[in-house]
Amino acid sequence: MNNEVRPDPARSNTGRLGRAQVGITVLCALVVLIDGFDTQAIALVAPDIAAEWQVPTATFGVVFGVGLLGGAIGAIIFGWAGDRFGRKPTVLFAVALLGVASSLTPLAGSVGELTFLRLVTGFGLGGALPGVIAITSEYTPQRLRTAVVSMMYCGFPLGAVLGGLITVRMVPALGWQSVFVLGGAAPLLLLPILAIWLPESARFLAVKGSTARLNKVLRRTGLDAPPEAEDTGSTEHSSVVRLFTDGRATGTLLIWTALFLSLLMSYLLINWLPLLARQAGLSSTTATFGVVLLNLGSIIGTIVIGRLTIRSRPAVVVGTAFALGAVAITGIAFSQQSGTWMLVAALFAGGLSIGAQISSLGICVNLYDTSVRATGVGWAVGIGRVGGIVGPVVGGLLIGVGISTPNLFLVTALASLLAAAAILGIARRRATTTDHPAAQPTKATER
């Protein structure tokens, strides 16, 4: 008897998410939530650490930057490893690494030690992303992929909101160390759950010809076949060079451009909005609430954008959101001393521009077939995080040369507009090219 499980093409665009697929998406979202929690928490506890160690607050610019640098390197390396050794083992290793590094952070006694631990933590955080993004996408029917990957990644802004709320309460009562104890315990507690319940990508196993493991995973998840008929015959190891072959080069460069600019924009907003709001004469409460609304807006925006991508061409929807987000950011630039107007503009900027930035990951996974997907996502996430490093630095340099507050936000709006152009370039390319089969839109996806 032939026990090989063959993909059913009819499932590609007509399938719905089953209970197992929803569970997989939730597990991946929990990993991303930890990333958001960690990113927000370190920013909020930095003043307390600086006061205790009696070092200038400005010193922590390196601490913030090295965490993002570690994330960029981790995403690239673990993305390559995910295509070669599997998505699940790389996710488990990355989660374990960030859990251990965060748990050791309370023992740091100097900026140098803290910087090293933030580098390792960032390496683990960034390293987990290609795997969870690939697993989520590869258990999702293609017509829903952009929406589901985007909603899964809502865990990041949700984690940032929780990080802010928890940190504000924990630090006064238990000290800044308690935040990292919690930040380390969460991934270590999640690790055995992931080991038991997170399956390896069925499509990855199909590509690698692991029939016995594939059958076992399909029985566990209740699926009859891998969620999408795709490239299941390639056994070639993934390489960054393959991101520029078989017609992938243009899409790769455009998604890198979009993610670089959108992360630059996001971190400019998140890092400089509170300070510039204070300089405009607004209260500290209003300034902090502006960042909260950015994150909440991004959650709402991602859900709305995701729903729209099911009914229309995903790249067109996401590109349009970036362009409209540029208008909202311009609204922040001209809010001047009106706290209400600034908060409203921040909510829309988060919903449109940052929501589009999160949704861009759904565009990214559709550019690559299974055999190279984790590498493609890893490099895209890594390039994006470089933009996240550059954003705050650019903001500081512009402020240093005397740029006005409105003009700084106009620069931020320009970044969103250019990201829109890159994503719309992907939409135009898909409409006109006879590209690699994995990059071709299906009728249900690109109507």
- Shared domain for 128 and 275, answered yes or no, is no
Distance CA 357, CA 287 (A): 22
Task: Assess whether 179 and 248 both reside in one domain.
Answer: no
Give the model's pLDDT for residue 442: 39
Q: What is the pLDDT of residue 15?
A: 59
CA distance 158 to 309: 21
**82-115: per-residue pLDDT in tens?**
988 999 999 999 999 999 999 999 999 898 999 9
Question: How many CB atoms are closer than 10 A to CB 222?
Answer: 10
61 — pLDDT class (breaks 50, 70, 90)? confident
Check whether residue 243 and residue 265 sit in a common domain. Answer: yes
pLDDT score of 342 more than 60? yes
User: For 303-312, how does the pLDDT look when each residue is reduced to its tens digit (9 = 90+)?
Assistant: 999 889 888 8
Q: How does residue 250 score in pLDDT terms, banded at 50, 70 and 90?
A: very high
Top pLDDT among 378 and 246 is at 378
For residues 125 and 252, state if they share a domain.
no
Residues 139 and 38 grouped into a single domain: yes
Dmax (CA) for the chain in angstroms is 76
3-state SS string over the chain? CCCCCCCCCCHHHHCCCCHHHHHHHHHHHHHHHHHHHHHHHHHHHHHHHHHHHCCCHHHHHHHHHHHHHHHHHHHHHHHHHHHHHCHHHHHHHHHHHHHHHHHHHHHCCCHHHHHHHHHHHHHHHHHHHHHHHHHHHHCCCHHHHHHHHHHHCCHHHHHHHHHHHHHHHHHHHHCCHHHHHHHHHHHHHHHHHHHHHCCCCHHHHHHHCCHHHHHHHHHHHCCCCCCCCCCCCCCCCCCHHHHHCCCCHHHHHHHHHHHHHHHHHHHHHHHHHHHHHHHCCCCHHHHHHHHHHHHHHHHHHHHHHHHHHHHCCHHHHHHHHHHHHHHHHHHHHCCCCCHHHHHHHHHHHHHHHHHHHHHHHHHHHCCCCHHHHHHHHHHHHHHHHHHHHHHHHHHHHHHHCCCCHHHHHHHHHHHHHHHHHHHHHHHHHHHHCCCCHHHCCCCCCCC
pLDDT of residue 439: 41
Structurally, the chain folds into a number of domains equal to: 2
Residue 445 has pLDDT above 50, yes or no: no
CATH (domain of 260):
1.20.1250.20
Q: What is the mean pLDDT of the chain?
A: 83
Higher pLDDT, residue 171 or 436 = 171
- Looking at the structure, tell me whether residues 381 and 296 fall in a common domain: yes
pLDDT of 141: 82
Task: Say if residue 86 is in the same domain as residue 213.
Answer: yes
Q: Which domain holds residue 154?
A: 1-235
Q: Is residue 113 part of a domain?
A: yes
| Same-domain status, 213 and 343 | no
pLDDT at 12: 37
pLDDT tens digit sequence for 161-209: 888 788 878 888 899 999 999 999 999 999 999 999 999 988 888 877 7
Cα 268 from chain centroid (whole Å): 16
Q: What is the pLDDT of residue 404?
A: 79
Q: Within this chain, do residues 210 and 282 fall inside the same structural domain, yes or no?
A: no
- Tens of pLDDT, residue by residue over 267-294, are 888 777 766 666 666 665 666 677 778 8
Looking at residue 354, its pLDDT comes to 94
**Does 256 lie in the same domain as 163?**
no
In terms of domains, do 321 and 398 share one?
A: yes
Among 226-235, 254-263, 338-347, 366-375, which is the least confidently predicted range?
226-235
pLDDT value for 48: 84
Last residue of a domain, one of 235, 263, 296: 235
pLDDT band, very low/low/confident/very high, at 395 (cuts 50, 70, 90):
confident
Position 446 in a domain: no
- This prediction has a pTM of 0.80
Asked which of 25-34, 212-221, 255-264 is least confident by mean pLDDT, the reply is 212-221
